[in-house]
Amino acid sequence: MLECEMMKTIQFDDFLKVDIRVGTVVSVEEYPEARKPAYKLEIDFGSLGKKRSSAQITHHYRKEGLIGKQIIAVVNFSPKQIGKFMSEVLVLGLPDENGMIVLLEPNLKVSDGSKLF
């Protein structure tokens, strides 16, 4: 049985501050310098432009299978330096039963840059 994590209550206005959008992966590179296996992603968010992210998703995803995939990401965090790479967005995912990340993605195609409501 899993231990329950303490959930911190936030106000709805706090949630609205997080800008979560859909984008399409347009390029993928290996990131051999990363401490854990990762890819460098370039993601097209439509009118927001293309943004880069580092993602530890190599267990379930191959580079060629990621091109053209729509994913969900937080686009309004401050950029974060990850080694020599500047990550501009946080790609969202959930751990599988082994702790490996499974990407969040829409089950139908939507416009790049669409915002989660």
What are the pLDDT digits (tens) for 42-74? 999 999 999 999 999 999 999 999 999 999 999
Helix (H/G/I), strand (E/B), else coil: 95? strand
Q: What CATH number does residue 67 fall under?
A: 2.40.50.140
**1 lies in some domain:** no
pTM for this model (two decimals): 0.90
Domain assignment present for 3: no
Q: How far apart are CA 48 and CA 37, in angstroms?
A: 28
Residue 2: inside a domain? no
- For residue 61, give its domain range: 17-103
Q: Is residue 108 classed exposed, middle or buried when 0-12, 13-18 and 19+ CB atoms within 10 A define those classes?
A: exposed
Low-confidence ranges of the chain (pLDDT < 50): 1-2
Which helix (H) or strand (E) is 65 found in, with range?
helix 63-66
Residue 9 maps to a domain: no
* Inside any domain, residue 97: yes
Number of domains in the chain: 1
